[in-house]
Amino acid sequence: MASPQAAAIDRLFDSFITAMTADPGMSLDTLRDLFGQCGDLAAEPGGVDYLEADADGIPCLWAVPKGCREDRVLLSAHGGGCVTGDRFTHRKLFAHIAKQVGCRALIVDYGRAPEQQHPTQVSDCLKAYEWLLGQGIKPAHIATVGDSAGGNLCTAVVLAARDKKLPLPAALMPMSPWYDMEGLGASMTTNAKVDRLVTPAVSGSMVQMYIGKTSPKDPLVNPLYADCKGLPPIYIQVGGYEALLDDSLRFTERAKAAGVDCHCDVYPEMQHVFQFMAGRAPEADDAIAKLAAWVKPHLGLA
């Protein structure tokens, strides 16, 4: 049974739906302000400094826990359908993860849709990755992490790096990844009554803003169509109540079939990116502790 504290995300997502229903023509700025409230769910992690950075022209934010290993980095991609969210809305989420891991997180503020469509988002994350390599960070000391659309991007950036024949990072950690640009997962229907946020209408609208004229089967927008062979180890977390649950399950199956070390944890009764509640809900804290415990050996921190 979900903890009483976990109801906070239910209430927030319900308020989003109420607001969008009351204002069907909601402006993009208002939508971004609305979804930006997700970042308010987390408690301040404490003991973390935030530093602005420019990664080859891409604005980023460093989350630097006190006493951390600065030669290890979590390349972090925020969620929000590639339409909402930024380095500030997600700073606490990624700071909690970085603090548990004991390394820095570089939160990439990639160009957002619809002003900038695919491939901008993947290209910006790839630029940030190459910038890290240029700063002397070893690929074996980098892991990618992201939530929702950021879970997609933290996967796609590794696919893009492989296509460019760059050395690959040590590991990937997608949280509630939004992979399927076609919306074909069975959980879009089976979890329709329990997911408090994601619907075919919401997902479909963001798909159009994000991919534009790109095929929804393009592997760099829909990793379900990617050749996973040779990818680093992957640890996925997803909520059991998510409409996007099958995105994670299907990708896990594809990755395992390609010989990739890929594991997916399904958290019963949890909503989309429940990790937002870091420092306030036990489910979120447990998930982040497991992410950290899993990735530390891959980064040489165990």
**Which residues are annotated as catalytic?**
148, 242
ω into residue 167 within 30 of 0, thus cis?
no
Q: Tell me if residue 88 falls in helix, strand or coil.
A: coil
39: Cβ contacts below 8 Å, ≥ 6 apart: 88, 89, 90, 91, 92, 93, 276
Give 302: exposed, middle or buried? Use CB within 10 Å, 0-12, 13-18, 19+: exposed
Match 């590991």 to its residue by tokens. 171
Give 186: exposed, middle or buried? Use CB within 10 Å, 0-12, 13-18, 19+: exposed
Report CA-CA distances (Å) from 287 to 174, 208, 245, 292.
12, 31, 16, 9
Query: If you count them, how many residues does the chain have?
Result: 302
Please state, as a whole number, how many other Cβ atoms lie within 10 Å of the Cβ of residue 212: 13
CA 196 to chain centre: 18
